[in-house]
Amino acid sequence: MMRRHIFSTVLLVMLFVTVAVPVHSQIIAETAVVTDYMWRGFNVLNNAPAVQPTVTGILGDTGFDVNAWFSFALRDRYEQAIRDLDEMDLTLTYSRSIGAIDMRAGIFTYHLFTQDDYPDEATFVREAFGGITLTTLPLSPWITYNYELLKEGGNDWYLEAGLEHVIALSSGQPVVFSAHTGWYKADWGDLGGEVTDISLSVSLPIETGRLSIVPWLTASYTPLQKVNPDEFTVHGGMAFSGVFLAR
């Protein structure tokens, strides 16, 4: 019943986006299929592949966008081919460019359903975040800081930084190479601001009008056994997305 209520709420929010937002707003619908769901170094679904749909509303020229993201594991649970909802994330972001600097800030919430014995208040987490990208420097370096907003047991944070480089094949097809690392402080995971994940990725965005297909492959290194016992993992996926005009 609770999950039906959540879905209804998200659908109402997205309906509002389509009918009550500024002119030139857009809806971006995406579905990704991934071999593993890696998050801050953790293999969240224990090597299970997953389907992860996303809906994003870009609110005209205001700088704001809203995003709803979901994850469903493709591993049997109670003899289901696609098991119940594992996670739902909602994000509100404000972005602005000043010269060569792209800035972003917002509120990010996620609700986990991977363990049925979790109390509701333990699975719902809200974070504030802010970050910048230096678009004119080589490799477009970026950094983002997430800070957990909890009355008790808070003060957790996650700092991530990365680089990106795009090359064009002779056909004009872009190939995107990126590197990423993250530092995590979390009392619940006994992490004291340590490096939790380092990754290298390559993706091949294929654009066809308002539709796109993006396959990618990532190699990840997790220095801490308590975060991911596998230490080295290779995972990937493919995303399918479309852009639609709301107004």
CATH number, domain at 216? 2.40.160.40
Summarised one tens digit per residue, pLDDT across range 152-176 is 656 799 999 999 999 999 889 999 9
Over the chain, what HEC string results? Answer: CHHHHHHHHHHHHHHHHHHHCCCCCEEEEEEEEECCCEECCEECCCCCCEEEEEEEEECCCCCEEEEEEEEEECCCECCECCCCEEEEEEEEEEEEEECCEEEEEEEEEEEECCCCCCCHHHHEEEEEEEEEEECCCCCCCEEEEEEECCCCCCCCEEEEEEEEEEEECCCCCEEEEEEEEEEEEECCCCEEEEEEEEEEEEECCEEECCEEEEEEEEEEECCCCCCCCCCEEEEEEEEEEEEEECC
Q: Which domain holds residue 22?
A: 2-245
Question: Is the pLDDT at 28 greater than 80, yes or no?
Answer: yes
Confidence of residue 24 (pLDDT cuts 50, 70, 90): confident
Give the number of domains in the chain.
1
Confidence of residue 121 (pLDDT cuts 50, 70, 90): very low
